[in-house]
Amino acid sequence: MKNFILLFLLIYSLNLTAQNNYFKNKADTKDFSIDSIINIYINEIKPDSIRNTIQSLQSYTTRFMLEPNRKNIAISLKDKFISMGYLNTVIDSFIVITNFIYGPFNIQDTTWQYNVIATLEGSLYPDSICIAGGHYDSFSDSILVGKAPGADDDASGVSAAIEIARIFKMMNYQPKLTIKFIAFAAEELMGFSDESGSSYYAKNAYANNEKIKFFANNDMISYNRSISNWESKFHCFTGMSWIRDFAYSMCIDYTSITPDTATHNPWGDSHPFWQQGFQTLHFEEYEFNPNYHTVFDVVDSINIDYCAEMTKITMAMLISGAQFYTGIDENHKSGIQINVKLYPNPATDRITIDNAENQNLNISVYTIVGDFVLQKVLTNNKNIIDISSLSKGIYIIRLTNTNGTMLQKLIIE
């Protein structure tokens, strides 16, 4: 009996460490890092899986927000999340008053609308939330005859969130921060309505003091006629340089896409989040989609491989941001870049930080698992910091002054 219990405990503990061993076997110990973890996960993104989701959304023929099928669409998205293991998925209902003038029609309507929210609870900071989402309603010049396939706009963005959610559940991913996957309703008539799914969510989140770390919005991420040299627009908001830089580095490090981080016209579901002060950014394909808001916005006219590549950006952000909490945004003040240089990187036993800001600089160092290891206030223009007590690996350095916050990855060899 005793042996049986020991055997049981052995099997149980082997199970517990199975995931860790999986990573350790995939990479040597030194490379047991965020890079290797992100690479393992993004390699699970399957274009076929993304195509299936887009196809199933397109198969509604229309997802126009004033059509009566909207609740069935929300229920099917909820069922999809539940089938992947998100048993906590909810439909969050709200009322929208729309006054929409379209051609000869003046549509006035008060409707119930339905956001769909699936949650992967954080193990260490469940109150801190990272969001990935897109909108599931669609629009076209043929909405009055009930046609709006909306494959690119925005079944593609919803499919990105669903694909990431699928992989996280399949791989039993356990983030330290909570991750929410949201399919937003009622985006397309934002300018003609008193509410959208995203404005409803963002306003409530602000009122409830929800600690949103960031919202990565994917809206139209699948149109691209070329097979290489891919680019992407990052629609950035004033004062949101942290997420811009974060997304930029994830895109450069983990995808074949060249990001264009110029401030474009920020609109869509990110906008209300920005209005409430939450870090947010909207990813979009680089090339204008000529099928935008027409009946030709269908699966056959988009580039699924590009969509899969775009999905990697959000996935890398979720793993990097939700796994390794650094408390970045709470004191984040503005979009001004800090004029600071850190070198060498990789380093061995010391680093130098040049501070051209004429003010004190706070430096905090965190391990790759988010543990705080070092803090200093730097008062000089040139500062040499002894890091010989830190073991080899990858660290996150947070540099803060009154102008803002900068994050940097430091490798100690």
What is the closest distance, in whole angstroms, from the C-beta atom of residue 298 to Zn ion in the complex?
15
Cβ closest to Zn ion, residue 133 vs residue 404? 133
d(Cα 61, Cα 69) in Å, to the nearest integer?
10
Q: By rule CB under 5 A, what count of residues binds Zn ion? A: 3
Which of 35, 152, 153, 245 touches Zn ion (CB under 5 A)? 153
Of the ranges 33-41, 219-227, 229-237, 312-320, which one interacts with Zn ion (CB under 5 A)? 219-227
Site pattern 171..210 for Zn ion (x: CB under 5 A): ----------------------------------------
What is the closest distance, in whole angstroms, from the C-beta atom of residue 284 to Zn ion in the complex?
9
Quick one: tokens of 343?
């070198």
| Strand partners of residue 384 | 352
Cβ closest to Zn ion, residue 147 vs residue 211? 147
Q: Where are the beta strands (DSSP E) in 164-279?
A: 177-184, 211-218, 231-235, 258-260
Q: Rule CB under 5 A: is residue 297 a binding residue for Zn ion?
A: no
Q: How much of the chain is in helix, strand and coil states, percent to nearest 5?
A: 35, 30, 35
What is the closest distance, in whole angstroms, from the C-beta atom of residue 139 to Zn ion in the complex?
8
Quick one: tokens of 88?
């906590």
d(Cα 408, Cα 60) in Å, to the nearest integer?
45
- Give the torsion sign (CA, 40, 42, 43, 44): positive
Of the ranges 120-128, 152-160, 175-183, 283-291, which one interacts with Zn ion (CB under 5 A)? 152-160
Of the ranges 163-171, 213-221, 286-294, 369-377, which one interacts with Zn ion (CB under 5 A)? 213-221
Collapsed DSSP state (helix, strand, coil) of residue 233: strand
Quick one: tokens of 340?
């600071």
Of the ranges 3-11, 154-162, 279-287, 324-332, which one interacts with Zn ion (CB under 5 A)? 154-162
Which of 154, 210, 245, 285 touches Zn ion (CB under 5 A)? 154
Q: Rule CB under 5 A: is residue 152 a binding residue for Zn ion?
A: no
Cβ closest to Zn ion, residue 295 vs residue 411? 295
Interaxial angle between packed helices 2-16 and 18-26, expressed in degrees from 0 to 180 and rounded to the nearest 10: 50
Q: Rule CB under 5 A: is residue 219 a binding residue for Zn ion?
A: yes
Of the ranges 216-224, 286-294, 308-316, 378-386, which one interacts with Zn ion (CB under 5 A)? 216-224
Q: 272 preceded by cis ω (within 30°)?
A: no
What is the closest distance, in whole angstroms, from the C-beta atom of residue 187 to Zn ion in the complex?
6
CA dihedral 377, 381, 384, 387 (to 10 degrees): 40
d(Cα 215, Cα 213) in Å, to the nearest integer?
7
Cβ closest to Zn ion, residue 218 vs residue 383? 218
Contacts (CB under 5 A) with Zn ion, residues 332-391: none
What is the closest distance, in whole angstroms, from the C-beta atom of residue 35 to Zn ion in the complex?
32
Of the ranges 42-50, 148-156, 235-243, 280-288, which one interacts with Zn ion (CB under 5 A)? 148-156
What is the closest distance, in whole angstroms, from the C-beta atom of residue 138 to Zn ion in the complex?
8
d(Cα 153, Cα 219) in Å, to the nearest integer?
6
One-letter identity of residue 231: E
Of the ranges 205-213, 215-223, 301-309, 385-393, which one interacts with Zn ion (CB under 5 A)? 215-223
Cβ closest to Zn ion, residue 197 vs residue 393? 197
Quick one: tokens of 255?
């995808």
d(Cα 163, Cα 230) in Å, to the nearest integer?
21
From the list 396, 407, 394, the residue with the least C-alpha distance to 29 is: 394
From the list 143, 147, 82, 146, the residue with the least C-alpha distance to 117 is: 82
What is the closest distance, in whole angstroms, from the C-beta atom of residue 144 to Zn ion in the complex?
19
**Residues that bind Zn ion in the complex, under the rule CB under 5 A:** 153-154, 219
